[in-house]
Every structure is written in structure tokens, then in C-alpha cells.
Structure 1
Amino acid sequence: MSSTALHAPSHRIHILGLGNLGRLFAHALAKTDKTTPITLLLHREGLLDEWEQVGQKIEVTTNGIPDQTGSFDVELVSREGPQDVIDNLIVATKATQTTSALSAIRHRLTSASTVLLTQNGMGTAEELNEQVFKDPYTRPNYLAGITSHGVYSQGPFRSVHAGLADVAIGRVGRVGQSTAPQYLVDKIVQATALSAQEVSQPELLLLQLQKLVVNAMINPLTVIFNCRNGELFSRGPIIQVMRQLLREASQVIQSFPDIKSDPVSISRFSEQRLEGTVLDVAKKTAKNTSSMLQDVRAGRETEIDYINGYIVKRGKQAGIDCTNNEKLVHMVKESLVYLLRAQKVL
């Protein structure tokens, strides 16, 4: 009998990636149920020192009121560290770091494990299947979370929950999966601060694609024009650029098998409907600085390959010209390279 068969499922939740989103999930879960064991997975020793310096607590400020949660267990991810099975894992790393981060703990995940992916963009699950969990019968169960909350950092393990919104969570199917796990879904839905709702797999895909388009229009353009979301579409020429990008994105999404066979979905992803959605989000988040612009200003790698890059990739597969989105991918990457050179990092 295998060790997996002998393993008794645990209610412990592990969180990998302690940036703003990871902190928000950890804080919300701890506040809702103090009996739920939560382990923070740290990827470098320096984070252990920072954890000690902040008093072993996560602080999230909401409506100007700072609130701290503690009682977390902490592990340093390493071959010498704990080797027990991880049953419930929230992955809050950047999309660019997800594959390498999960590779480091692949041996601790089984076909009974549940992995929630919270990254921006699309294509992360497919990348994991190709590079980390190649056998569809032994890979973990995937969940995907679409987060609309606005969160920014105030330092190590300290964040501000600036834009209160919601989370949609659903299952990403896999071959051989008969009964999908519910424990992690329930815990996240119960976490009041997350305002989370479980959605069906078809609806999850629609929400993912809708957010993909919004991110593909707002994030990279705020990088190119170096402005907040609300300033972006106050200029006519920028709206024209957005429409060119949107036309390509609409054609690509409407070519998806699950979309093109449904007239309602075709209408949902028309250029006109998508433009209204993008402008509405830009207005509601007018004071926000997009995560991509924050990354570029901080000299960090962006998630552009999983946003506009994903549109370009699917466009090439469908034979749809996505020249404008492809140019935008290169421009964002060049902006980062230019900044790093200016800072004499390169």
C-alpha cells in the first residue's frame, strides 16, 4: 500500500507566497476561524528574519484601522525542511514564479491534495501540467481564484486592504478526478474579509477571461503611459489604442470552443461589451496604481506573458493576428529593461 493511501487528510492550510495577496488570505482565514492550522511557506531565509522582526504577525489595515493576526506556523521551503504531505495549498506567488515555487514542494503534493491558484492572467495551470505535474492521474486537484481586492504593501508582512471587493473560486477539472475536494473552498468562502463565492467551472472560465481582458487593457497601458488607472482613458488617443488591443482580444476569446458555441458568451465578449467593462473597472479603480506598474517601478518581472502574452499565444493557435498585443508585450518588457539599466542593475 502506498504512503498516499495511508495518509489521513489534514485540515491544515499551507500558503505559498507572502506578498499582498498571500497576506490577505492568511489574515482573513485566521480571523474567521482561529482553530484552523495555517502554515506560511517561506522561500528564503531572509524572510524568517523579517518574520521575527515584525513580531511573528501579519498586519492588514482596512479603513485606516490596522489589525494583526498571529498563531501561524512557519516553514522554510527546503529539502532539509518538513517533508509531510500538503493537503491544502494556497499559491499566491506571481505567475512567473509559480512553476519554480511548486517544483520545490512537488514531492509533498499528491493526487488528494488541493491547490488554489490565485495568479493574474491565464495559462499557469497548463504550464504546471507541462512542467511539474505531467501525469494527469497523480497531479493535485486545482482550484482557481479570481481576486478583485485592492491590496498594497507597507513593508514586510504588512499590507493595506485599500479596495474591498470579492473573490470567485472554482474548480479546474482534470482527467481522473471523480470527487472534487470541498474543504479549502468552504474555508475560503467562510472567510468574511475575502467576500468569496464558489462558482461553477463554466462560469469560472468566463470570469477568468473577463478579468484577463481587463488586465490586458489597463495594466500594460498604465506602464506605457506611467499613470494611475483613472488617468488612462481620459485621453482619446489612448482609447483608440485600447480599442485596437480589444479587437484582437475579443476575436481570440470568441474563438474558444466553449465560447463560440454559445451565443450568450459570444455577446459577452464582443468588443462593445468588453470596452464598457474595461472603462467601468478603470473608473472604479481610478486611484489605484496597477500591479504591473508597481512591478515595473520596483524593478520586478511583470506577469505580461500570462496576460497579453496569453492572448497572443492563443491567437497564434487560432490563426488570429494579434500584432498590437504582441507589440505591447515587448514594450512592457523594454520598459523594465530600461528602468533596470537606468538604475545600473544591468
Structure 2
Amino acid sequence: MSSSPRIHILGVGNLGRLFAHALANTPNPPRLTLLLHRPSLLSEWDLAGRTISITTHSLTNSNGVYDIEEPITRGSIIENLIIATKTLHTAKALKAVKHRLGAQSTILFTQNGMGTTEEATRLIFPEEATRPSYLAAITSHGLYSEGPFRSVFAGQAHVSVGHVCGSSPKSQYLLDQIVNAKLLNATEFESRELRMLQLEKLVINAMINPLTVIYNCRNGELFKRSDVTSVMRDLLAEASQVISLLPELRTLEDGGNDVAERFSKEKLESKVLDVAEKTASNTSSMLQDFRAGRETEVGYINGYIVKRGKELGINVGNNDRIVEMVQKKKVVQEE
């Protein structure tokens, strides 16, 4: 175990805790280091008994061995980094550890929304020769916090993981560790398919999360109202058009016809309504952030649709307005 590559985890919210705990509880766990980015986390770590606790079906498991560091530590090169911060904090978090990352490193992005890998390349790793390899994970599990380093695993689902583009042998160790961690229930996908899975989740989030903020309700209450369903369909029409024309999804074989079919308005609406029904009693993460006075991730969800739409010359006015409403806290008041 002492000679195995180390995995660092930056971001110890629900998602970071889940990945850390799942990796720490494999038959041959890798060496794990939690990067505690706020000084207050050190005292919270001590109060939590220097461990991560995950509760599943009323049973709490606190097993696992972790080292801790502060990101600014002038330590050795980070070979494998799982970044589980909120999307809007990703660039700042990576900047804190940039001096420990290089071409031999692999970064796994686990966040909701899209655009963080492009942002990391533009702001943190513009030089291709020294840029780490990128992996991305889409997580469908449901978790909520019970305090620092304690989470409840409320809805067990799955993780989709793979390379952001192409493939890299140096990333295989981290990929294998994720896939072999049974608690994560992870499956590896090639980069184009992973991209389409990301976009499907993005659309679902873009239709449900901001509307729960604007109409101040749980997921299941949204589409019982015809006026809300009409708004969703306007947003969906724009998202469908944008994704169907994304150049990176086109292939020589069919020119991207599979994308147009997969991301048709009808198929997307069916997926959105299905998820809203299955998560009917849930309060979306965006509504939780909004109620707590935290900045939301709408800029990386609907905002991503707006950005790509404008690049393609597509009218994305409805999504643009939704972003503005959430960011400026313009919610619909109950009569």
C-alpha cells in the first residue's frame, strides 16, 4: 500500500465525502489525502473524530483512513486529484494547488453543470505541454449533509465516468479506483458518450433546478401547473436546438444525426418529467443554495446553454432570462 499512487480530494462537501469514503472502503484502498481549503475545517475534522461518516439505511459507517493537508502546502506533485467543489469555486480551488499539478497529473471533475474543464484550461492550464489529463464524473446519487464530514446516502444510483476527450494511460489508475469502488456503482464511458450523458443531465437540471427557485417549490410540484410546463417547454426548445448543433458531437459517420434524435424536444421532455416525478419530494440543490443565501450554479447550468447557443448564433433568450432571474433573485410571488 505504501507504494501505491496517492489520491487527493479537494472539496469535502457531500460529493467529496462520498468519493473519499467509497475509495477508503475498498478491499485494497489507495492512499487518500483530504485537502482542507479552509482553516476552520481543521477543527471540524478533529470534532468529527478525524473520519468521514456515511449513513445508509440508518446504518452509519465511519471506517476509512485519511491523511489531511492544506492546499497551499509546498508538497510533492499531486498525481491524482478529485475536485468536488461547487462549479463556481473550481477555478479558485485549482489555482491553490496549481503548483503541485503538471502533465503527469490527472484531475477528476465531479461537479454538476458544464464548463468547468474549459474554464480550468483557459484560466489555470493554458499551456498544453504542462496541462493535466482530465476525467469527468456524472453522479446520480442523492446525499444530504448532517454536519461537517457527516452525510446521509439517501438515494443510491450510479456514477458515469470517463475521459473528457480522447484517452490517457496515466489516468487509468484513478479510473480503475473509481470503477472498483463498489459504493459508487461507477461505469466507464468513452468521451463522446460521456459528453452526451453530461448534456442530458445538464438539460434535466436546467429545466428543474432554476424553476424550483423561481416558483419556490419541490420538484414534484413544478409541472402540475400548466404555466410552469409552458416555461419549461420554451427553455427545452432552446436547449434541444443548441445541443443538436454542437460541433464536438458531430461524427464523420452520420454528421451528428444521432444527437438530433437523442436530444429532440420530445425525448428531453420525457426525461425531465420522469426525473421530476422520481424526485418529487426533493428540494433541488439550487433551491437549497438559494434559500441559504449562497450563490447558485445556474451560470454553469442554464448559463452553459446560453454560452454555447450564442456561439452558434441561436436565440437563447428564455434561458438567458432564467439565469438573470435566479442571479437577481427575481422569484414568482404566490398570489
Q: TM-score range by the shorter chain?
A: over 0.9
Residue of 322, 326, 331 corresponding to 2:325: 331
1:299 and 1:336 in contact (8 A); partners too? no
Q: Give the drift of 1:44.
A: 1.1
Unaligned runs of 5+ in 1: 1-8, 338-346
Unaligned runs of 5+ in 2: none
| Structure 1 position 290 matched with structure 2 position 284 | yes
What is the DSSP-based 3-state SS (H/G/I as helix, E as strand, rest coil) of the residue aligned with 2:53? strand
- Counterpart in 2 of 1:188? 178
CA distance in 2 between partners of 1:245 and 1:35 (Å): 44
Q: Give the drift of 1:152.
A: 0.8
How many residue pairs were aligned?
326
CA distance in 1 between partners of 2:63 and 2:222 (Å): 37
| Structure 1 position 142 matched with structure 2 position 134 | yes
1:75 and 1:82 in contact (8 A); partners too? no
1:309 and 1:329 in contact (8 A); partners too? yes
| Structure 1 position 154 matched with structure 2 position 146 | yes
Write the letter of the residue equivalent to 1:286.
A
1:187-210 CA-partner distances (Å, limit 9, x unpaired):
010111110000011101110110
Matches of residues 103-252 of structure 1 in structure 2 within 5 Å?
Answer: 103-173=95-165, 179-252=169-242
1:12 and 1:38 in contact (8 A); partners too? yes
CA distance in 2 between partners of 1:314 and 1:137 (Å): 27
1:251-275 CA-partner distances (Å, limit 9, x unpaired):
1111112445222221000000000
CA distance in 1 between partners of 2:281 and 2:268 (Å): 21
1:51 and 1:57 in contact (8 A); partners too? yes
CA distance in 2 between partners of 1:190 and 1:10 (Å): 15
CA distance in 1 between partners of 2:56 and 2:122 (Å): 39
Provide TM-score, normalisation by structure 2. Answer: 0.94
What is the DSSP-based 3-state SS (H/G/I as helix, E as strand, rest coil) of the residue aligned with 1:60? strand
Provide TM-score, normalisation by structure 1. Answer: 0.91
CA distance in 2 between partners of 1:265 and 1:203 (Å): 10
Q: Give the drift of 1:48.
A: 0.2
Q: Give the drift of 1:70.
A: 3.5
What is the DSSP-based 3-state SS (H/G/I as helix, E as strand, rest coil) of the residue aligned with 2:328? helix
Q: Give the drift of 1:82.
A: 4.0
Change (3 A) 1:268 1:35: closer
Write the letter of the residue equivalent to 1:299.
G
2:137 and 2:160 in contact (8 A); partners too? yes
| Structure 1 position 12 matched with structure 2 position 3 | no
1:90 and 1:118 in contact (8 A); partners too? yes
Residue of 233, 236, 254 corresponding to 2:244: 254
What is the DSSP-based 3-state SS (H/G/I as helix, E as strand, rest coil) of the residue aligned with 2:154? strand
1:99-122 CA-partner distances (Å, limit 9, x unpaired):
000001001011011100011111
Q: Give the drift of 1:178.
A: 5.8
Q: Give the drift of 1:236.
A: 1.2
CA distance in 2 between partners of 1:76 and 1:263 (Å): 48
Matches of residues 335-346 of structure 1 in structure 2 within 5 Å?
Answer: 335=329
Q: Give the drift of 1:179.
A: 3.6
